Amino acid sequence: MSFYAVIGDPVSHSKSPLIHSLFAKQTGESISYVAQKVVAKKFEEFVSEFFKDGGSGLNVTLPHKERAYKLARNCDQGAQTAEAANTLFLNSAGEICAANTDGPGLVADIKFNNGVQIRGKDLLLIGAGGAVRGALVSLIEEKPSSITVVNRTLSRANALKTKFNKMPRIKTSTYDDLGDDYDLIINGTSLGLTHEVPPLKAINVRQGAFCYDMFYADRQTAFVNWAKTNGAETAIDGLGMLVEQAAESFLLWRGIRPETRTVIEELKSA
| Alpha-carbon gap, residue 219 to 253, rounded angstroms | 31
Q: What's at 253, amino acid-wise?
A: W
- Residue of 15, 65, 121, 161 with catalytic role: 65
Alpha carbon distance 225, 244 (integer Å): 23
Q: How far apart are CA 125 and CA 254, in angstroms?
A: 32
65 in catalytic set: yes
- Alpha carbon distance 260, 19 (integer Å): 9
Which active-site residues does the annotation give? 65
